[in-house]
Amino acid sequence: MGAPVKVNRWIGSLALCLLLVGAGCTEPIYHGLGEKEANEMVVVLEQHGLEAGKERDPAADNAWKVTVPSAVKVEAWRVLQTEGLPRPEVSGFDAFYPSGGMVPTASEERVLLQYSTAQELRKSLLAVDTVVDAQVNLVLPEKPRVQLETTVVEPPRASVLIKYRSDSKKPPLGQEKVRSLVAGGVEGLDAKNVDVIFTRAARSAQPLVEPAFATVGPVSVAEKSKGVFQLLVVAMALCIVMLTGGVVFLIFRMRRKANEVAG
């Protein structure tokens, strides 16, 4: 009975070591990201003193995932949410005008054109660095089918709300550039009829810090990951010791059985 008990204890200890190793591993918090957005998220997390990395996402082509240590996963989610990352996905013309669909009425066509144009403009604004979110509202009055000399046609109008990163000292674009961008994307829209409002995203409770590193033996790791890394090293060392002890025990046991058979 002694040998099976020792084997069971050895297996249990090995399982505990593997569990400790798993505790120090990283895990993904977002999948299916573009490389630019993944890089931006990693930079933001490191600015807040959180270790982060990016890896290829095997679930999608040309996609990336952002990983963080399991111990800071919740904190990383909170920081990214405050900073407006990842950016919202925006549909463009292709989502509203699929090929082979039913032909819309004139009124439906106008509404679709107005909404899809606003989404295209929003997508362009979101591509600007430090822009967290953007909203574009268009008012495109319906043109009369028969236009007389006395007919008064209201000009198109637009309003734009841009939210930018909390760590930015000023808006990423000037009002005139935003007006020109929006007016250039809408037929008949004068830049002076575009209202622009900038707002700064709420600042995260986690302050911006310079990346701090700690030395563990010959390795430099992020300060907040020092404890996790030390636990990982200790757990791996214990696993090696347990595996070595298990191999020695099995070899000794096999030799003893061989001697008993030979005797």
Local confidence pLDDT in tens for the 263 residues of the chain: 455 545 555 555 555 555 555 545 788 899 899 998 899 899 889 888 888 999 999 888 889 999 998 888 889 998 888 888 888 777 665 555 555 555 567 677 778 888 889 999 999 999 898 888 899 999 988 776 666 666 677 899 999 999 988 777 889 999 999 999 999 999 999 999 999 999 988 765 555 555 555 565 666 655 655 666 667 777 777 778 878 877 888 888 888 887 777 76
Cα–Cα distance for residue pair 204/57, rounded to 1 Å: 28
**pLDDT value at position 143?**
73
Q: Does domain 24-83 have CATH number 3.30.70.1530?
A: yes
**pLDDT value at position 154?**
86
**pLDDT value at position 15?**
56
Q: Does domain 105-143+151-200 have CATH number 3.30.1360.170?
A: no
**pLDDT value at position 234?**
75
Q: Which two tokens stand for residue 92?
A: 């463009």
Cα–Cα distance for residue pair 261/81, rounded to 1 Å: 68
Residue 180, CB half-sphere, CA atoms under 13 Å: how many? 5
> What is the biggest distance separating any 2 CA atoms in the chain, rounded to whole angstroms?
120
Cα–Cα distance for residue pair 34/112, rounded to 1 Å: 28
